[in-house]
Amino acid sequence: MNKDLSNSEWLLTNRKGGYALGTGNLVNSRKYHGLLIASSKDLKRTHLVSSVEEKYEIMGETFFTDSNNYPDTVYPNGRNYLEHSELRPYPLFNYMVPSARGAVIILKEIFMDEDENITLIRYRNTGNQTLKYSFRYKFSLRDHHSVNRPGLFDYIPTEVRIKDTGLYRNGVIKREDNKVQAYLYTFSGNLIEDPVIYRNVYYKKEALRGYDAYEDLVSPFLHTGIFKPNECMEVMFSGCDIDDLKKNSIGSIKKGIRERYARLKRRVYHFTTGNAQHAGFLKKDYPGILKEMMNDFRINKDIVAGYPWFSAWGRDTMISLEAYTREREESGFVFSVLKSYGRELQNGVLPNVKGEGGMGANYDTVDASLWFVQRAYESFTDFSSAEKQTIYEYCKEILLNYMYNGTLPFFFDSGDGLIVLRKNTGAALTWMDAKVDNIPVTPRYGKPVEINALWYNTVRMVIEMAGELKEKVVANDTYSVNTEELNKTAALIKESMGKFYSNGILCDRLEDDRPVPEIRPNFVIALSLPFDFMDIKHLVRAYETAKNKLLTSYGLRTLSEDSPMFKGMYIGDQKTRDSAYHQGTVWAWLLLPYAKLLKKITGEKNVLYTELERITAEIKAKILDGIYASVAEIWDGKNPEESKGTPAQAWSVAALYCIEKIKENCTD
């Protein structure tokens, strides 16, 4: 194979939040890996199809093109025949198997429908040998966060049926205990009922993360047929009976899926057929690839925070939404997201987590609402008059509740204008929100620096929006303040932000109005925002601190290595990992505030361009080399190299995309 992609992961998604995910060699190492993980409208995800056993025969010779992890072995050895693979714009795998009759060459491609929970797999016999194939499809039929414990399918009954329409064979399997069902569609060969259980499939990444790592998969169907040279064979999985979709026939769905990926290919890739053994994609448009990556997270009126295990998070959505505010043609989507979240405001607070299937939602955040105002301000001029008024009403709710509502887990200190996080609430309200045994690792009680910078910017932005709408009083049914008073508040906040400066650094927070001199990236976030509260001299000094203490090739550390609390490795079970999550671990999304701070202090565009290119070079190279299909969440704080956390994180991709937009302005 041309490169080792066993630790690289491809991703396909739809607008519902459904996905397919796997490794570059198709050996599943996570419980989340699979060919179809369906999503409901409220982001309840169900793992339906894991993988395919692909057996071929030619003149008495038998071989497989699939591989699976088991406790002590990998079997069968199909991965050894994988000569070439690509991760984007869709996963592509080229197998070359030597045989006594000459090389057998098979190309496998995986696609997903844009709107529905449907995955299409296309096989091409690109060699000159006629093959017999025997395929078995492995079904999981479970919540995507869990596994089927060994032995489960020995006593959990399944209902299986097959229908032959003449145009296709439709196999259906349904678990009787949880009522989860999946649909298989084949368009050639024979499909019969022939049940098999695959036992003790092993997910090594789950074992490393301290989770259950073994499961059984059920395979009720045997699909057989003849595969002639230059022939194409397609198989489709669905989370529902396609006949129930009404609006689409199977033929139109398959055509729509193919056209979706043809458009992607034309936009940002060159496709080369060349030698069949080396069929693949040559990347040409790095910003375009980032834009397509960003769209992997886009769902109806929202953004999924990360795949595979995150749902929609208010904070992540608002931070990631900047990638869309930079595109004028996306103002409709931006407005729909802001309006959707605005309707869910409670006492001026956006939902922190929307949860899956309506479960797990909470409002444990202080910054999500402040990021909402940032995005509203950036897009305000692109909105219609009616849209401006709608969004402004939500911004007013946020500002007024933050100033006057005493029931929140934070409050406005009228003495210095700053926002204070109440002590000992057990809440973790900032983006550094990890908990161990339900106790925040970095509670950041008191006055966090980036929260108050966001607060200062919020006040200034609401003043400007009110001015554009010619409103001199900011009011709702409960509270009101005139813009003259708000201007005084803004001036007070700006003056009070000086409290964070101590011994040459901008401290992370104030506790009992005393600066806590931890070097964390939150001061970089604070200084990256549009309205400055410090002069250029302090900006330069802060930048140098961030560059020397926090910057790595993959993002910024969450704590300087100088700190005795620094943890350089993000490994182990969940408790151990959560203890390190914000204690030195590197986050890619922080590259954007770093880039914005750099832009403020750099007068020469060519210098800015060169430095922005340098700080993104490692990730960019791996994207262009086909090693990354998306941008991960985090890396180790010490010697970062292997990506950790989610393999695809929305605000990581958004950060890189926005940096590319900054670079575009350097070449104007």
Dihedral sign for Cα atoms in the order 504, 510, 512, 517: negative
For residues 616, 620, 622, 623, the Cα torsion angle rounded to the nearest 10 degrees is 140
Q: Is residue 534 part of a domain?
A: yes
- Predicted confidence band at 249 (pLDDT cuts at 50, 70, 90)? confident
Q: Is residue 1 part of a domain?
A: no
- Helix 449-468 crosses helix 385-404 at what angle (to 10 degrees)? 140
Return the DSSP state at 504: T
Q: Is residue 2 part of a domain?
A: no
Indicate the number of domains in the chain.
2
Distances (CA, A) of 523 to 3, 547, 556: 40, 12, 12
Q: Is residue 54 part of a domain?
A: yes
Same domain as 371, residue 238: no
Same domain as 236, residue 297: no
Q: Is residue 61 part of a domain?
A: yes
Closest residue by Cα to residue 66 from 51, 56, 78, 81: 78
Same domain as 148, residue 129: yes
Can you give the pLDDT at residue 565?
97
User: Token digits for 173?
Assistant: 């399997």
Same domain as 314, residue 278: no
Find out whether 603 and 609 touch, Cβ atoms under 8 Å: no
Show which of 258, 284, 310 is a domain's final residue.
Answer: 284
Beta strands in 65-130 (DSSP E): 68-70, 73-75, 82-86, 92-97, 104-112, 118-125
Closest residue by Cα to residue 449 from 521, 352, 376, 368: 521
Same domain as 365, residue 267: no
Can you give the pLDDT at residue 275?
47
Can you give the pLDDT at residue 276?
44
| φ/ψ bin of 149: left (φ > 0), alpha (ψ from -120 to 50), beta (otherwise) | beta
Same domain as 295, residue 225: no
**Burial of residue 199, with CB atoms counted within 10 A of its CB: 0-12 exposed, 13-18 middle, 19 or more buried:** middle
Can you give the pLDDT at residue 251?
86
| DSSP conformation letters of 336-380 | HHHHHHHTT-BTTB--SB--BTTBS-B---SSHHHHHHHHHHHHG
Same domain as 493, residue 397: yes
Average pLDDT estimate for 513-532: 97
Can you give the pLDDT at residue 66?
98
- How far apart, in whole angstroms, are the C-alpha atoms of residue 123 and residue 66? 13
- Predicted confidence band at 279 (pLDDT cuts at 50, 70, 90)? low
Write the pLDDT tens digit of every residue in 376-415. Answer: 999 999 999 999 999 999 999 999 999 999 999 999 999 9
Can you give the pLDDT at residue 535?
95
User: Token digits for 94?
Assistant: 């080229």
Q: Is residue 3 part of a domain?
A: no
Q: What backbone torsions phi and psi does residue 236 show, to the nearest 5 degrees?
A: -130, 140
Same domain as 312, residue 247: no
- How far apart, in whole angstroms, are the C-alpha atoms of residue 170 and residue 164? 6
Show which of 246, 263, 284 is a domain's final residue.
Answer: 284
User: Distance between alpha carbon 270 and the CA centroid of its chain, in Å?
Assistant: 25
Write the pLDDT tens digit of every residue in 587-617. Answer: 999 999 999 999 999 989 999 999 999 999 9
Location of structure tokens 């205990």: 177
User: Token digits for 587?
Assistant: 């986050």
According to DSSP, the β-strands at 410-412 and 419-421 are: antiparallel
3-state helix vs strand vs coil in the chain, percent to 5: 35, 30, 35
According to DSSP, the β-strands at 480-482 and 501-502 are: unpaired
| Helix or strand run (H / E) with residue 663 | helix 650-666
Average pLDDT estimate for 495-503: 96
According to DSSP, the β-strands at 118-125 and 104-112 are: antiparallel
CATH code of 138's domain: 2.70.98
Same domain as 241, residue 130: yes
Enclosing domain of residue 437: 289-666
- Predicted confidence band at 102 (pLDDT cuts at 50, 70, 90)? confident
Angle at 172 between CA 169 and CA 176, to 5 degrees: 165
Does residue 520 register a pLDDT over 60?
Answer: yes
Three-state secondary structure call for residue 398: helix
Same domain as 398, residue 271: no
| φ/ψ bin of 243: left (φ > 0), alpha (ψ from -120 to 50), beta (otherwise) | alpha
Same domain as 280, residue 299: no
6 compared with 463, residue with greater pLDDT: 463
Does residue 274 register a pLDDT over 60?
Answer: no
Distances (CA, A) of 504 to 498, 511, 519, 541, 552: 12, 18, 11, 8, 22
Same domain as 567, residue 495: yes
For residue 48, give the amino acid letter. Answer: L
Dihedral sign for Cα atoms in the order 458, 459, 465, 471: positive
Average pLDDT estimate for 535-552: 97
CATH code of 617's domain: 1.50.10.10
Closest residue by Cα to residue 510 from 445, 598, 578, 580: 445
- Predicted confidence band at 361 (pLDDT cuts at 50, 70, 90)? confident
- How far apart, in whole angstroms, are the C-alpha atoms of residue 285 and residue 290? 9
- How far apart, in whole angstroms, are the C-alpha atoms of residue 631 and residue 144? 21
Can you give the pLDDT at residue 277?
47
User: Token digits for 320?
Assistant: 């990631």
Find out whether 67 and 52 touch, Cβ atoms under 8 Å: no
Q: Is residue 276 part of a domain?
A: yes
Can you give the pLDDT at residue 270?
63
Would you give the end-to-end CA distance of the chain in angstroms? 42
Show which of 284, 318, 345 is a domain's final residue.
Answer: 284
Write the pLDDT tens digit of every residue in 436-488. Answer: 999 999 999 999 999 999 999 999 999 999 999 999 999 999 999 999 999 99
Q: Compute the residue count for the chain.
A: 668
Q: Is residue 4 part of a domain?
A: no
